[in-house]
Amino acid sequence: MNTTKTLLSGIQPTGRMHLGNYFGAVQSWVTYQNDYNTFLFIADLHALTTKYMSPEGLRETKQSLLQDILACGVDPKKACVFFQSDVSMHAELHLLFSMMTPLPWLERVPTYKDKITAMQDHDLNTYGFLGYPLLQAADIALYQADVVPVGRDQLPHMELTREVIRRFNHLVQKPVFKEPEALLTSHDVLLGTDGRKMSKSYGNTIPMSDTPEQRSATVMSMVTDPNRIRKTDPGTPEVCPVFAYHRIFNTADRVSEIAAACRGAEIGCVACKRDCAAALNAHLAPIDERRLTWSSTDTLKDIAKDGAKRAILVAGESLAKAKKSLHL
């Protein structure tokens, strides 16, 4: 008996992958792929819900995201990696789900109104944007996923997914889809360069595909302890975003040394940042190296094609069951 559980997760191609995406999600995928029957996809249809007015560059963003995912250590021999729009079952199941989803269920999802407010410069008063979490429910249902690693912000989408699946199974009187569990990832392990959540909209990200030189320049421009104006001022490492990076990228011994030197005003912020940039670049060196091995566009296309082929086998079977249960 095969008791391997199925895990699925997706990432939107709204920009280049950054360190926050890596530590918040992709790094854990690299571990999960050994323990689960793993499906990982690039949610390009989801990206269109906000980028429909200016989709230029989407193809390039998707490709670079795929390259970064592989660079991080996701192995296409272990995990099935694909682009959402290559597997038409996602769109089709979304439509079937839309038949039976009460509008208030979608309207009350907190991310809906929040994002409309946050993205005033985009017209999100659309059918597709309201249906964002329903498309996500279809993504998950199609693979009969047991677990879905997501950040805390995605919990309302997981709840909706479970409700929609329950309703579907109830209406057709058959357990067509499996109710998934959220697997919480610690989302904010790595904050942005200003100490806030790392997000493209805050302009505080470090893209994975930056060169070591670019990354160093970004670290040198980071916010530090605001009360440490001169090198002779004793600092408080706990409030410094650079120190938070040291904790992740440096050895425990070095972290203690830096904390003491900062408190005692023995190290200047410039030297401290230089040390931080070196540690960060050393940490990312294996990823940089692997990225080079995935630099062929043709190879990336083949991997996505192969992933879609495997995904279609599973998604097609689920969709066929769903259609049959609806007398289609």
- Residue 44, C-beta contacts closer than 8 angstroms, at least 6 positions apart: 13, 58, 62, 83, 84, 85
**Which residue, 79, 143, 133, 140, is CA-closest to 101?**
133
Q: Which does 242 bind (CB under 5 to 8 A by kind): ligand SF4, ligand TRP, none?
A: ligand SF4
Identify residues 27-46 at the interface with ligand TRP (CB under 6 A). 43, 46
Residue whose CB is less far from ligand SF4, 26 or 267: 267
Number of residues forming the site for ligand SF4 (CB under 6 A): 13
Sole binder of ligand SF4 in the list 109, 164, 176, 267 (CB under 6 A): 267
Q: Does 10 bind ligand TRP (CB under 6 A)?
A: yes
Sole binder of ligand TRP in the list 12, 37, 318, 325 (CB under 6 A): 12
Which of the stretches 48-56, 74-82, 91-99, 136-144 binds ligand TRP when contact is defined by CB under 6 A?
Answer: 136-144
Residue whose CB is less far from ligand TRP, 46 or 228: 46
CA distance 322 to 28: 31
Residue whose CB is less far from ligand TRP, 128 or 212: 128
Q: Does 237 bind ligand SF4 (CB under 6 A)?
A: yes
The distance between the two most distant Cα atoms of the chain, rounded to a whole number of Å, is: 77
CB 195 within 8 Å of CB 241: yes
Alpha carbon dihedral 94, 95, 97, 101, in 10-degree steps, equals 110
Q: Does 139 bind ligand TRP (CB under 6 A)?
A: yes
Q: Which does 150 bind (CB under 5 to 8 A by kind): ligand TRP, ligand SF4, none?
A: ligand TRP
Residue 177 is encoded by which pair of tokens? 């889809």
Residues that bind ligand TRP (CB under 6 A): 8-10, 12, 43, 46, 136, 139-140, 148, 150, 154
- Residues forming the site for ligand SF4 (CB under 6 A): 224-225, 228, 235, 237, 240, 242-243, 262, 267, 269, 272-273
